[in-house]
Structure 1
Amino acid sequence: MRIALFITCFNDTMFPDTGKAVVRLLERLGHTVDFPAGQACCGQMHFNTGYRREAKPMVGRFAEAFAGYEAVVTPSGSCAGMVRDYHKVLDPEVDPPPVYELSELLVDVLGVTDVGAYFPHRVTYHPTCHSLRMLRVGDKPLKLLRAVRGIDLVELPAAESCCGFGGTFALKNADTSDAMLADKMRHVQSTGAEVLTAGDNSCLMHIGGGLSRLRTGVGTRHLAEILAAQEGDA
């Protein structure tokens, strides 16, 4: 299968190790992963803040960059949702490529739940809003995590509650965002987890920043990084 990695501008700029983990994981499973150099922003930030005219050229550029691939994988539920749900809205003439969030690709397309990972830590999982409500990934990430050797996976109370990030929401509605974050952090701490994981680094950055400021000792790792981990490097 010809698989292309859509790293997203956010991960490329701030969390490049997540993209490397996706490639390492898929190559371990026997797949070749390309990185089309022409890829750029999917336009989500512009679209969500009302700049639809400015976002439209990005739709065509995205389709051109990933043309011909059987599957495009991204470590971001929000960007996957943007391409699948809104690229056609912005430009009905464009045919978006098949884009999958990582857990969707592994479970639904490749038919894999045990990826041979090893991560001997107490972990709790936060289902991000876009993956939960737009993509409806359901328990796919949990199926993958449950198959990880050495992991102590604990349920997160009120897991489906938003963490308060929401892109520019956290900036425009800071007080509300902070209150939502406080609730999420309280629930994370109640699990006794060493590590919080999710499928979107944006939410992990938001929650992780709060946990760090409180000196809780709870770390954050993207789902891809846990699934790519093996004995000796976890």
Structure 2
Amino acid sequence: MLAKLLRTVLITLFACLALSILLVLLLRWVNPPYSALMLERQLRATLAGQSYSSQRSWAAWPALPDNLKMAVIAAEDQQFPNHHGFDIAAIRAALSHNKNSESIRGASTISQQVAKNTFLWSSRSWSRKALEAWFTLWIELLWSKERILEVYLNSAEWGPGIFGAEAAAQYHFKTPVTHLANQQAYTLAAVLPSPLTRSASQPSLATAQRARWISQQVRQLGGSNYLETLKSTHSE
């Protein structure tokens, strides 16, 4: 009886793991119509008895401007072309900081954020981190770096109900994402750590300072030329 139960559990586990890999493979080519983060926001609002609507329009890789691609890499994950989903140096630095400080510093790469936003929930737990690592591994194996950044820019939250770069550009600056000016791109990247409390259209002093820092980092990385490294990292 115990052996049969164990076999059933193992088969179920294997099936779930295989299904997750197939889903990641499918999304290499198919744009996800919704993200887990969007569903979570909708569910929380419904349970709280609040109305909720979201905006999102997919912008394909060629339509996403280089200035926004670079701004997000500079702000969120400067080692993005070089790692395989996990920035070990950043993780060690975050662990050291968190031991000696009341503030919590994260070390999630863009790939990890894609895994979380697309497939998982946002609360902190070891189980979620384990699943995040699993999905990150397969995203890095099966997607190109360009695809990872494309999905990230179309899934990131940029305000209440505002998901993806196209919706963010329209909401904050009344312009299509293809027409974003450099400063607008830097400011959008600057609000990403706290998109529900920071505004790109009405940036605080701290947000404006972070946007200036991002612009400096973009220049130090080499500007849009840096994006060429994404092509040499993975091939489609």
Whichever structure has more strand as a proportion of its residues is 1
Which of the pair has more CA radius of gyration?
Answer: 2
TM-score band, normalised by the shorter chain? under 0.3
Could you tell me the TM-score, scaled by structure 2's length? Answer: 0.24
Could you tell me the TM-score, scaled by structure 1's length? Answer: 0.25
Whichever structure has more helix as a proportion of its residues is 2
